[in-house]
Chains A and B, each alone.
Chain A
């Protein structure tokens, strides 16, 4: 089963994602912040996909995205955020997908599946 690295500062949401994605059969590794996630990657972790929140205290998701890709360019990253406006931020185009959080996680699950099926990097049509 694929491993998902979840980067999310909200504790209860982490629980939710762990629960839901776990029920999908994925292995979910959680980091509460960007630096934590980087530390894990530098520690040798290689998830199959990263689900990255944007609004985090300290290092936000955009910065984290840059750093993660800096560490390993090949890891697919899905930006998972409550902000609708960042879609037009060019930095986010580096990510493979941009998902707006919703309570039924449907879009997120679909994107994970898609990316994994595509075997890695997918260039999302953002149009």
Chain B
């Protein structure tokens, strides 16, 4: 312990009684050097002083009154005599030799002193030694301090190392893998607990590895080889599928186990060692093997079913696919789901895989693609997510089935229904036939490449080629399919929106139009005739060698495979439909034939209807013409009667006038007679004039009976009733009724007559078809009705006479229509105007007031 009160440097001066003078001198000299001297007169005292003051220097006189300075030094140096090392110090010691003796350097040094001075030391010598000793002490103290630091550091480092060691030990201990480090003698220098457990003993250090490894592994050649290689090359080695038998009682699964061993080079304690990491991968290997087995089994089963199977990871990447899948979709490896199924580079909207991930349940979806042959194929996917124990998605199993046949069948049946409906509404025969053939060639259900229709002419008992539909060449066909694939139209679209192309635009029409086959026994060699007579479909697979196909037919149509079906309604064949797949070469199956026959029956009914409708229309036309004629005749008869009556009425007065005039001429001199005769003549002439006036009255209609009626409704009802008649003439009817026009006061029957007349005239002027526009409008005075046509028009010279009675340009006309029309309009207080341009059309405009008795300007 340093005494804080004492200023440093401190020197303990150990001197005996005898050394008083020298000691005093020493002390004096020490004081001059600024060194504090602490006297001690015995070994014990000196030791105590050293203990107390921790001096920088010890001055030890040899003669220490009973003891020797050497003893003190020895004690100070911790020699054998010292009681422990309690007094040991490396404080520099200067020994002062006894008086009269030469300094025993050796002994002093041996004892542990640093310097020896003779008893009669010179001042300078003394001081120099003191300085040297102090210096040495300083250095020593520094060294000590450094050593202390180093010790502390070391302690700290050791602490770190210890904790690191503890850490790695803990880690190694807790590893599932068995970890062992061996030296080049294959002896264990380190092992973790797992290894010890496997080894079945805790004391593994130092033991040879062989004996410690589970049975089989230790003697494993591969293991020995691996160790050799690692020691040689320092490169790591991994051994898979090491088999060994694990005994019971080692705390883990026993029996035949499979291991994976990784051996690598590792420095340990300065030399190269081998680190072995051993894992029991039995379950994993088994699982993997099982999965592969199951997968193969599944693959075989699935192959037998003919479905595609693939495995996808979470990112929708195909990990594996079976043969069928690859056949259908190409090699899918590394491609993603949407790339494979939909040739799209982005995930599909409403992706079923996403749904499967969300719900963790299997998902089902149906989809379709167009193949290169222009055929549509349907697939059904079942997506099964494979989850691990924690419910996290591992992979997807996707089962793909080709359901084209089934889907086709469904579509076919619904198609037939749709076709029936589509055909039912079409009453125009040509349009219907076109619809029939379009249905046979469109889409995938019937989807033949070409279709031809032969209609039966009942009178001539022949089958006549009536229509052909389809592409004219392979190139044409592909172009159409490509177009369809890009923008698939539904059958409904094809049937309803399509304008019927002109016959000339259908090249197949030329093929079929000139053909006519009598339906008798002598023409049975023609397929269509046979079909019609036998009333059964005929499927020809090889036309070149089939006796049911004639040479000319094959030459004309060129299809080696085709089908011919009869269209029958009410027990009669009314047409034969022939269809082939000349361009796609798609085989015609019995199912196709059955479906075609089903369709044909419906078509037959539709054709029957259309034909019946045409007959009916024709009959109606006849009837109407006859009726018109009758009416005409009736009119003429009426006029005849009227004319006879008029003649009669006129004749009587004429007889009177003529008679009396002759009388006067015979007796001109008889003035009285002349006067009487003249008077009678005048009377009769007046009578004649009134008769004439009456004749006009004969033709005029009765006076109108007014009531408030809606004009628009009158017009529209009338036009509805006349629509058929109008459209049958090929005239398009446009009706534009002003909704703001309400009721006007009129004689509905007469106004109806007016509209009827104008419409009839208009339709008659458009014998080649055209547009008839009937328009009502409201104006400030009342109503305006316009009947406009696009017919032959009226010559300007004729225009002014058209309202004249008995004026007509029609050979069968009475010429009264427009006269009556004008009369009615005038009776209503209205006006009628006409504008016309030859070959452009005519427009009649009638203005009628809202109320009768009002002014019409």
Give the interface centre of A15, A55, A82, A83 by most chain B CB atoms within 10 Å. A82
In the bound complex, what is the Cα–Cα distance between A51 and B644 (angstroms)? 22
Q: Quick check: B658 and A12 within 8 Å, CB to CB?
A: no
Complex partner residue of A103 from B644, B647, B649, B661, CB under 8 angstroms: B661
Interface check A19, CB cutoff 8 A? yes
In the bound complex, what is the Cα–Cα distance between A105 and B649 (angstroms)? 18
Which chain B residues have a beta carbon within 8 Å of chain A's beta carbons?
644, 647-649, 651-652, 654-663, 680, 683-684
In the bound complex, what is the Cα–Cα distance between A104 and B661 (angstroms)? 9
Given A16-B659, A103-B662, A105-B659, CB of A82 within 8 Å of CB of B680: no
Complex partner residue of B648 from A15, A83, A102, A103, CB under 8 angstroms: A83
Complex partner residue of B651 from A20, A85, A101, A105, CB under 8 angstroms: A101
Contacts of B651 in A (CB 8 A): 82, 100-101
Contacts of A12 in B (CB 8 A): 656, 660, 680, 683-684
Q: Which residue of B lies closest to A13 (CB)?
A: B656
In the bound complex, what is the Cα–Cα distance between A27 and B660 (angstroms)? 19
Task: Count residues on chain A whose CB falls below 8 Å from chain B CBs.
Answer: 19
Q: Jot down 19 A-B pairs with beta carbons below 8 A, ordered by A.
A: A10-B652, A10-B656, A12-B683, A13-B656, A15-B680, A16-B680, A19-B660, A20-B659, A82-B648, A82-B652, A83-B644, A101-B652, A101-B655, A103-B655, A103-B657, A103-B658, A103-B659, A104-B658, A104-B662
Contacts of A105 in B (CB 8 A): 659
Contacts of B649 in A (CB 8 A): 82
Q: Quick check: B656 and A16 within 8 Å, CB to CB?
A: yes
> From residue A85, how far is it (CB to closest CB) to chain B in Å?
6
Interface check A84, CB cutoff 8 A? yes
Complex partner residue of A104 from B644, B659, B683, CB under 8 angstroms: B659
10 interchain residue pairs of minimum CB distance: A103-B658, A82-B651, A16-B659, A82-B648, A101-B655, A12-B656, A12-B680, A103-B655, A103-B659, A82-B652
Contacts of A104 in B (CB 8 A): 658-659, 662
> From residue A79, how far is it (CB to closest CB) to chain B in Å?
14
In the bound complex, what is the Cα–Cα distance between A1 and B660 (angstroms)? 24
In the bound complex, what is the Cα–Cα distance between A13 and B662 (angstroms)? 14
In the bound complex, what is the Cα–Cα distance between A15 and B676 (angstroms)? 10
In the bound complex, what is the Cα–Cα distance between A105 and B659 (angstroms)? 7
Using an 8 Å CB-CB cutoff, how does the interface string of A62-98 with B read, 1 for contact, 0 for none?
A: 0000000000000000000111110000000000000
Contacts of A10 in B (CB 8 A): 652, 656
> From residue A122, how far is it (CB to closest CB) to chain B in Å?
24
In the bound complex, what is the Cα–Cα distance between A101 and B683 (angstroms)? 19
Contacts A12-B683, A16-B663, A105-B659 known; 19 new A-B pairs at CB < 8 A: A12-B680, A12-B684, A13-B655, A13-B656, A15-B680, A16-B655, A16-B680, A19-B663, A55-B648, A81-B648, A82-B652, A85-B644, A101-B652, A102-B658, A103-B654, A103-B657, A103-B658, A103-B662, A104-B658
> From residue B653, how far is it (CB to closest CB) to chain A in Å?
8
In the bound complex, what is the Cα–Cα distance between A16 and B677 (angstroms)? 9
Contacts of B644 in A (CB 8 A): 83-85
Contacts of B684 in A (CB 8 A): 12
Contacts of B647 in A (CB 8 A): 82, 84
Using an 8 Å CB-CB cutoff, how does the interface string of A1-34 with B read, 1 for contact, 0 for none?
A: 0000000001011011001100000000000000
Contacts of B655 in A (CB 8 A): 13, 16, 82, 101-103
Contacts of B662 in A (CB 8 A): 103-104
Contacts of A103 in B (CB 8 A): 654-659, 661-662
Contacts of A19 in B (CB 8 A): 660, 663
Contacts of B657 in A (CB 8 A): 103
Q: Which residue of B lies closest to A8 (CB)?
A: B652
> From residue A51, how far is it (CB to closest CB) to chain B in Å?
13
In the bound complex, what is the Cα–Cα distance between A54 and B661 (angstroms)? 24
Contacts of A55 in B (CB 8 A): 648
In the bound complex, what is the Cα–Cα distance between A102 and B648 (angstroms)? 11
Given A15-B680, A102-B658, CB of A20 within 8 Å of CB of B663: yes
In the bound complex, what is the Cα–Cα distance between A54 and B587 (angstroms)? 91
> From residue B584, how far is it (CB to closest CB) to chain A in Å?
80
> From residue B718, how far is it (CB to closest CB) to chain A in Å?
39
Contacts of A15 in B (CB 8 A): 680
In the bound complex, what is the Cα–Cα distance between A16 and B680 (angstroms)? 10
In the bound complex, what is the Cα–Cα distance between A102 and B647 (angstroms)? 12
Contacts of B658 in A (CB 8 A): 102-104
Within 8 A of B (CB), among A91-127: 100-105
> From residue A103, how far is it (CB to closest CB) to chain B in Å?
2
Contacts of B648 in A (CB 8 A): 55, 81-83
Q: Quick check: A16 and B660 within 8 Å, CB to CB?
A: yes
Contacts of A102 in B (CB 8 A): 655, 658
> From residue B18, how far is it (CB to closest CB) to chain A in Å?
206
Contacts of A82 in B (CB 8 A): 647-649, 651-652, 655
In the bound complex, what is the Cα–Cα distance between A82 and B659 (angstroms)? 14
Q: Which residue of B lies closest to A102 (CB)?
A: B655
In the bound complex, what is the Cα–Cα distance between A101 and B649 (angstroms)? 12
In the bound complex, what is the Cα–Cα distance between A45 and B659 (angstroms)? 28
Q: Which residue of A lies closest to B644 (CB)?
A: A85
Contacts of B652 in A (CB 8 A): 10, 13, 82, 101
> From residue B681, how far is it (CB to closest CB) to chain A in Å?
9
Contacts of A100 in B (CB 8 A): 651
In the bound complex, what is the Cα–Cα distance between A84 and B651 (angstroms)? 10
> From residue B415, how far is it (CB to closest CB) to chain A in Å?
70
> From residue A7, how far is it (CB to closest CB) to chain B in Å?
14
> From residue A89, how far is it (CB to closest CB) to chain B in Å?
13
In the bound complex, what is the Cα–Cα distance between A85 and B656 (angstroms)? 21
In the bound complex, what is the Cα–Cα distance between A55 and B650 (angstroms)? 13
Q: Which residue of A lies closest to B679 (CB)?
A: A12
Q: Which residue of B lies closest to A10 (CB)?
A: B652
In the bound complex, what is the Cα–Cα distance between A28 and B111 (angstroms)? 216
In the bound complex, what is the Cα–Cα distance between A85 and B660 (angstroms)? 26
In the bound complex, what is the Cα–Cα distance between A10 and B659 (angstroms)? 14
Q: Which residue of B lies closest to A19 (CB)?
A: B663
Contacts of A16 in B (CB 8 A): 655-656, 659-660, 663, 680
> From residue B318, how far is it (CB to closest CB) to chain A in Å?
104
In the bound complex, what is the Cα–Cα distance between A77 and B684 (angstroms)? 27
> From residue A87, how far is it (CB to closest CB) to chain B in Å?
12
> From residue B37, how far is it (CB to closest CB) to chain A in Å?
192
In the bound complex, what is the Cα–Cα distance between A100 and B647 (angstroms)? 12
Q: Which residue of B lies closest to A16 (CB)?
A: B659
Contacts of A84 in B (CB 8 A): 644, 647
In the bound complex, what is the Cα–Cα distance between A81 and B649 (angstroms)? 11
> From residue B663, how far is it (CB to closest CB) to chain A in Å?
6
> From residue A104, how far is it (CB to closest CB) to chain B in Å?
6
Contacts of B659 in A (CB 8 A): 13, 16, 20, 103-105
Give the interface centre of B656, B658, B680 by most chain A CB atoms within 10 Å. B656
Give the interface centre of A12, A13, A83, A104 by most chain B CB atoms within 10 Å. A12
Q: Which residue of A lies closest to B660 (CB)?
A: A16
> From residue A107, how far is it (CB to closest CB) to chain B in Å?
11
Contacts of B683 in A (CB 8 A): 12
In the bound complex, what is the Cα–Cα distance between A83 and B652 (angstroms)? 10
Contacts of B680 in A (CB 8 A): 12, 15-16
In the bound complex, what is the Cα–Cα distance between A94 and B76 (angstroms)? 199
